[in-house]
Amino acid sequence: MTPGTGPGSIEEVSDLLRTIAHPTRLRILRHLIEGDACVTELSTTLDVPMPYVSHQLRLLRNAHLVRRYRGSGRMYYGLTGIPAVALVLEVLRFCP
């Protein structure tokens, strides 16, 4: 493995920050601080179409910031426990 390309590399951190740095994804993360939610709830709360929310959630899942699970016949999404989530939550404390 070449220096700077492994887990926690500058490139990986940069990709993570790029994923986070999107208004809708930040709004989703901020909503999930309050508790887990399904796509329908997020779509209604954020006033954006469900397919768009699903796409944003997929990007957040790929970045390991959000997990999904089935409950009551629906897919729910919640924050993961990785250290990057703690950083995001700290930043979101300062957002209105």
Using a CB cutoff of 8 Å and minimum separation of 24, what contacts does 73-80 make? 74/38, 74/40, 75/38, 75/39, 76/36, 76/37, 76/38, 77/28, 77/32, 77/36, 77/37, 77/38, 77/39, 77/42, 78/32, 78/35, 78/36, 78/37, 79/29, 79/32, 79/33
Model confidence, pTM:
0.82
The pLDDT tens digits of the residues spanning 21-64 come to 899 999 999 899 889 999 999 999 999 999 999 999 999 999 98
In this predicted structure, the answer to whether residue 6 has a pLDDT above a threshold of 70 is no
For residue 14, the model assigns a pLDDT of: 82
Mind listing the domains of the chain with CATH numbers? 15-92 (1.10.10.10)
Identify the residue with better confidence: 12 or 55.
Answer: 55
